[in-house]
Amino acid sequence: RGSAGAKDIPFNRPGSLTRVYAVASGKGGVGKSSVTVNLAAAMAASGLRVGIVDADVHGFSIPGLLGITQPPTRVDEMILPPVAYGIKTISIGMFVAGNAPVAWRGPMLHRALEQFLTDVYFGDLDVLFLDLPPGTGDIAISVAQLLPQSEILVVTTPQAAAADVAERAGSVASQTGQSVAGVIENMSWLQLPTGERMELFGSGGGDIVAKRLSEALGKDIPLLGSIPLDVDLRTGGDSGAPVVLSEAALVEGSAGAELRRIA
């Protein structure tokens, strides 16, 4: 079970032009979901048709980051995803009551993801993001099976320890045959009022992950960008209004500006 094509996933149909990015990190809290929604919002604002599948079933946060409170609607056998900022979004968080903790096992997660990909009506998309749970767990393998053409985007912090686990998350690709689109370093520095950059979490993690993955995969894996710590990114997330769409993103060197550039 679970092999691509076992069920009809529209993104796997011959001729599908959707680029699928599976956003991965070694550990939680590095900003994977924040990066996902901001890249998606910037792309949607530029006119692309964008969707997000929140596959981070244990720590789903995408609906909150996009300010989505309305549930999906059902039409016959299909589920219509809510849309926010032009992004069609589905999340396990929309199917559990309140903030009930999700304690699902691997096969159930696989089934949930498969159902999201087959029963949710996304229509034609230019880009689909999958927000993966941290680590190299069952769901990453499921994604590789269900969407073999998906490309992995690795998010890490500059810290060496974070880089190690992020590299492991990325190197799943060599086992699954997926490609790695690149590495994004988050929380890279804090801009001080004096103009200096304070490297709160050290430096070099993104570079290290990109270099090691390049060696492991035998091809050049780019560091796509480095995003500073930025209060506006955090408050935008808390209020469900992605920073890339705000005036804060017009400030050169801000997190919003860098995320827009990467998108």
Binding residues for ATP: 26-33
C-beta of residue 53 within 8 angstroms of C-beta of residue 82: no
Site for ligand ADP in 51-90 (CB under 6 A): 59, 61
- Which distant-in-sequence residues (6+ apart) come within 8 Å of 19 by Cβ? 126, 127, 128, 151
C-beta of residue 87 within 8 angstroms of C-beta of residue 40: yes
Number of residues that bind ligand ADP (CB under 6 A): 19
Cα–Cα distance, 31 to 209 (Å, whole number): 16
CB of 146 to ligand ADP, least distance (A): 21
Q: Figure out which of the listed residues 5, 6, 13, 29 binds ligand ADP, where binding follows CB under 6 A.
A: 29
Q: Smaller CB distance to ligand ADP: residue 114 or 185? A: 185
Maximum separation of any 2 CA atoms in the chain, in Å:
59
Segment lying near ligand ADP (by CB under 6 A), choices 46-54, 81-89, 90-98, 223-231: 223-231
Q: Smaller CB distance to ligand ADP: residue 81 or 228? A: 228
- Residue 84: beta bridge partners? 87
Of the candidates 263, 212, 216, the one whose C-alpha atom is nearest the C-alpha of residue 23 is 263
Site for ligand ADP in 148-187 (CB under 6 A): 186-187
Q: Residue 22, SS3?
A: strand
Asked whether position 136 contacts ligand ADP by CB under 6 A, the answer is no
CB of 119 to ligand ADP, least distance (A): 25
Site for ligand ADP in 203-222 (CB under 6 A): none
Write out the two tokens for 197.
Answer: 């950059």
- Write the Ramachandran bin of 5: left for phi over 0, alpha for psi from -120 to 50, otherwise beta: left
Cα–Cα distance, 59 to 144 (Å, whole number): 20
Binding positions: 26-33
User: Over the Cα atoms of the chain, what is R_g?
Assistant: 18
Q: How far is CA 56 from the centre of its chain?
A: 9
Asked whether position 230 contacts ligand ADP by CB under 6 A, the answer is yes
Segment lying near ligand ADP (by CB under 6 A), choices 32-40, 76-84, 175-183, 193-201: 32-40
Q: Figure out which of the listed residues 234, 241, 245, 246 binds ligand ADP, where binding follows CB under 6 A.
A: 234
Site for ligand ADP in 241-260 (CB under 6 A): 255
Asked whether position 25 contacts ligand ADP by CB under 6 A, the answer is yes
Chain residues in the site for ligand ADP (CB under 6 A)? 25, 28-34, 59, 61, 186-187, 227, 229-230, 233-234, 237, 255
